Each structure stands twice: as structure tokens, then as C-alpha cells.
Structure 1
Amino acid sequence: MDIPLMSMALFQGQVQKQASISIMKKAMDQAAGNAEFINKMMSGSQVQTLQHAAQPHLGGHIDIIG
């Protein structure tokens, strides 16, 4: 049984696990920031502005048949 080799393998596994957790935390923080930004953009009077910016051709003309 090679104890130094086992020790190195265990340490490498721990480092990989810590790196993975760190990356996952950053991704979660970024997703939370994106969600907060979207919520701010969708609040109040900005909804109509966003809808018009996304689909500027809608709501410009009214067809009256009568």
C-alpha cells in the first residue's frame, strides 16, 4: 500500500470538489443577478416599453370594420 500516493489522490479529489463547488456558486450568483435584473425590468410602467421594444410592429394600427 503506497500511502503517499493515496494521500496525493485524496488531496487531488478534494481540490477538484472545492473547484466544482466554487464554480457552481458563481453560476448561482450570476443566475440570481440575472433574475433580479429581469424582475426590475418587468416592474411597473417598463412592461409596455419592453413589449414595444420586443415587438414594435404590434399595436400601431387599429382595423375598424363597421
Structure 2
Amino acid sequence: MDIAAISTVMNQNRLSQEVSIRVLKMSNDQASQIGQDIIKMMEQSVQPNLGGNIDIKL
């Protein structure tokens, strides 16, 4: 192989790695956002008085 071909292959590999890292970062950010949204939904759904009283008729 000549130097130009080696350089081209190295640049393609570097670009591939950079794209993979960016996609991974985007996926990580999205997972973090989904986790925060789930926590927010759970906090809003809490009803502290639910189940505190029982109505019984004999």
C-alpha cells in the first residue's frame, strides 16, 4: 500500500469512530431525558392519601 491509501483508510476509520461516538452520545442523552421524564411522571402520580382509609359495613 502506498502512503495515500493508508492515509485514506486512517481518515475513514477516524470518521467512523467519530460518528459512532456522536450517535452514542445522542443515545445517552435521550436515555437520560426519558429517565427524567419517567421520574417526573411518577412524582406527579403519587397520591399520599390513597389507601389510607377503609370503609367497612357490617
**What band does the TM-score fall into relative to the shorter chain?**
0.7 to 0.9
SS at the partner of 2:5? helix
**Which AA in structure 1 matches 2:33?**
G
Tell me what 2:37 maps to. 37
Post-superposition shift, 1:14? 0.1
Aligned residues: 51
Please list every run of 5 or more consecutive structure 1 residues that lacks an aligned counterpart in the other structure.
49-63
Identity %: 37
Separation in 1, partners of 2:7, 2:41? 51
**What RMSD over aligned residues (CA atoms) do the two structures have, in Å?**
2.2
Q: Does 2:16 correspond to 1:23?
A: no
Post-superposition shift, 1:47? 3.5
Tell me what 1:6 maps to. 6
Please list every run of 5 or more consecutive structure 2 residues that lacks an aligned counterpart in the other structure.
48-55
Moved over 4 A (4+): none
